[in-house]
């Protein structure tokens, strides 16, 4: 399993972001071959963390631009003013 964690700080209108991610982004990312799961965590203090699971790194690489393209196309970038901190890696436990 391959995991990509993205940390978004300074989220504006967190409930709107959550609504749009659930209703719009999740159906898109879930269609990527090798996709295994997605979690969005509200850590408080206007910070979200997303955890995306893929069957392997090759599948994750295929989906690499899906989040950034969706954010751009959806018009949500003003609500996520800071670029995400991205941490990818193999699930080892």
Does residue 29 form part of some domain?
A: yes
- Quick check: 3 and 88 in contact, CB under 8 A? yes
How far lies 10's CA from each of 1, 29, 77, 89, in Å? 29, 23, 11, 24
Does residue 33 form part of some domain?
A: yes
Is this structure's pTM higher than 0.75? yes
The CATH number of the domain holding residue 76 is 3.30.70.100
Q: Which whole number is the average pLDDT over 2-16?
A: 97
Does residue 14 form part of some domain?
A: yes
Confidence class for position 6, pLDDT limits 50, 70, 90: very high
Q: Which domain holds residue 19?
A: 2-87
Does residue 56 form part of some domain?
A: yes
pLDDT for residue 89: 98
Per-residue pLDDT of 69-90, as tens digits, reads 999 999 999 999 999 999 999 9
Confidence class for position 42, pLDDT limits 50, 70, 90: very high
Number of domains present in the structure of the chain? 1
Cβ-based burial of 33 (10 A; exposed 0-12, middle 13-18, buried ≥19): exposed
Residue with tokens 């599948």: 59
Does residue 92 form part of some domain?
A: no
């Amino acid at each position: 399993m391959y995991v990509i964690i993205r940390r978004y700080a300074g989220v504006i209108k967190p409930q709107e972001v959550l609504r749009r991610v659930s209703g719009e982004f999740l159906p898109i990312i879930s269609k990527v071959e090798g996709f295994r799961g997605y979690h969005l965590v509200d850590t408080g203090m206007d910070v979200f963390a997303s955890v995306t699971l893929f069957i392997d790194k090759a599948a994750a690489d295929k989906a690499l631009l899906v989040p950034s393209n969706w954010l751009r196309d959806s018009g949500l970038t003003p609500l996520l003013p800071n670029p995400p901190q991205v941490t990818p890696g193999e699930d080892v436990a």
